[in-house]
Structure 1
Amino acid sequence: MTLAARDVCWSAGGRMIVDGVTLRAEPGKILGLIGPNGSGKSSLLRLLCRLRKVASGVVTLDDREIGTLSRHHLARRLAFVEQQATTEIQLSVCDVVRLGRTPHRSALASWAAADEDAVEAALARVDMTDRHDQFWHTLSGGERQRVHIARALAQMPSELILDEPTNHLDIQHQLSILTLIRRLGITCIMALHDLNLASLFCDEIAVLHEGKLVDAGTPESVMTEALIQRVFGVAVAIRRAASGRRHIEYLIEPF
């Protein structure tokens, strides 16, 4: 089972935003999307989960074009966590997470113990159990993001798509959320800005620049000093940390 794009294009306002991208998420692995702002990462994620319709090319799930699949089927397979989500409705934290159970329930079905178990487990995994009854709009930006990740987990997807899941989070929660995602063991595609976090947590990296796929492969093969200089316009040195992991150091002039 896998999610893939082949020669996918999408434009807006007369400008090509996603330009002929081909990539494949390996089952059970994490594929990270990196690239400067405006490189097409968020747009590509929305094409992959059919929130936008491709202009050309094809997105497939298990080798079936996603346009031929029902919304209900997709919702039981794919969960999408946006970069930011807002609402003025007076919802509690548990109400938001319960929305993740919608694809698993018929219109007339009563709330079941299995649904409640899924919600409680999802809240526990993002360390938000103690906020169960708190109103969503009273949470900090980082806490809201964690609740929306919990909603996605309650959906029990086999493919998870995340747009900057660590936005607004402090470093402790960045690491805990990415560690959680890493341990899920499901197919995951996520956009990240932090190159070191992408290198640390992703099995493969796809680099986008001006809507085009520049390179894809393992972090070690793709995230080179030359590529980062070319795509991001910054000089870096890549070294081995004491832990043995690669660390990207940004080379800047002294202040």
Structure 2
Amino acid sequence: MSISVRDVHWSAGGLMIVDGISIDVTPGRTLGLLGPNGSGKSSLLRLICRLRNVKSGVIALGNTDIAAMARLDIARRVAFVEQQATTEAQVTVLDVVRLGRTPHRGPLSPWSAADDMAVNAALRHVGMPERAGQLWHTLSGGERQRVHIARALAQTPSELLLDEPTNHLDIQHQLEILGLVTRLPVTSIIALHDLNLAAMFCDNLAVLHKGKVVAAGTPEEVLTEDLIADVFGVRAYIERSAHHGRQHVQYRLD
């Protein structure tokens, strides 16, 4: 497995936030993390890239426990895109994407041709090479998300973690961002709220509730009317989309 989480626990303020979670992500596949607010999705992502340390359990990249890895080695392999980041500094798109090369460079290392190649490839992946000189604060929300993903790709990761990458975006940019991510040649874990977007773009889903995994599998296996009622507290019909063949959730108001 590319990412393996085994019986992981993490608590904060006396509350168990991640409570015995076990999941596997196959190399090159996309796992969607679903669950209500406070279910542990964001905390789990931060544990996987070791921004937080597990209380117990094991998280492995390949066959290596991340607890035995140097943080720099993890940063060279795992890229994390948070929900939204902002800055008031007068920086350009290129400045932001270049930050992705930080794990690969020593404090006195000169900028190299390999760094340029990685940054230019990342900008091409997100369709923004012509925006390299544009100031950050002039970008739209969707464009900023593309730049964040480009910064992550400049790390040349084999694993990509994204925490609600479609938050505050219109539907066009939601579809563009998720389509982009799922076409990338990396292993991805994406925390999402939208069940239909998760069904459209993710190979597998894991549903978290109160810090535990309550369902895992393909979208067809996971997204059931009973699960949506139990976990999200709403009633729904489940249909198969005639367009993309995946599950489609129709919410009921009665």
Q: Name the TM-score, length of structure 2 as normaliser.
A: 0.94
Q: How far 1:93 sits from its partner (Å)?
A: 1.2
Q: How far 1:207 sits from its partner (Å)?
A: 0.4
Corresponding residue for 1:115?
A: 115
**What does residue range 98-177 of structure 1 map to in structure 2 within 5 Å?**
98-177=98-177
Q: How far 1:10 sits from its partner (Å)?
A: 0.9
Cα deviation 1:88-124 (Å, max 9, x = unaligned): 3332111010011122223333222332232222223
2-structure distance, mates of 1:71, 1:137: 31
- Give the AA of the match of 1:90: Q
Q: Name the SS of the counterpart of 1:11 in structure 2.
A: strand
1-structure distance, mates of 2:169, 2:207: 23
Cα deviation 1:186-208 (Å, max 9, x = unaligned): 11111011101101111110000
2-structure distance, mates of 1:35, 1:146: 24
- Give the AA of the match of 1:249: Q
2-structure distance, mates of 1:117, 1:187: 21
Contact 1:49 1:80 (C-alpha < 8 Å) held by counterparts: yes
Q: Name the SS of the counterpart of 1:110 in structure 2.
A: coil
Q: How far 1:59 sits from its partner (Å)?
A: 1.1
Cα deviation 1:33-74 (Å, max 9, x = unaligned): 000011110001000110001111111112221111112211
1-structure distance, mates of 2:89, 2:72: 24
Q: C-alpha root-mean-square deviation of aligned residues, in Å? A: 1.5
Residue identity (%) = 66
Task: Structure 2: state its 5+ residue gaps.
Answer: none
Corresponding residue for 1:248?
A: 249
Q: Name the SS of the counterpart of 1:227 in structure 2.
A: helix
Q: Name the SS of the counterpart of 1:137 in structure 2.
A: helix
**What does residue range 1-255 of structure 1 map to in structure 2 within 5 Å?**
2-243=2-243, 244-253=245-254
Contact 1:142 1:167 (C-alpha < 8 Å) held by counterparts: no
Q: Name the SS of the counterpart of 2:36 in structure 1.
A: coil
Q: How far 1:4 sits from its partner (Å)?
A: 1.3
1-structure distance, mates of 2:47, 2:241: 37
Contact 2:49 2:75 (C-alpha < 8 Å) held by counterparts: no
User: 1:157 and 1:96, CA in 2 relative to 1: closer, same or farther beyond 3 A?
Assistant: same
- Give the AA of the match of 1:252: L
Moved over 4 A (4+): none
- Give the AA of the match of 1:40: G
Q: Name the SS of the counterpart of 1:151 in structure 2.
A: helix
2-structure distance, mates of 1:167, 1:130: 25
2-structure distance, mates of 1:35, 1:94: 35
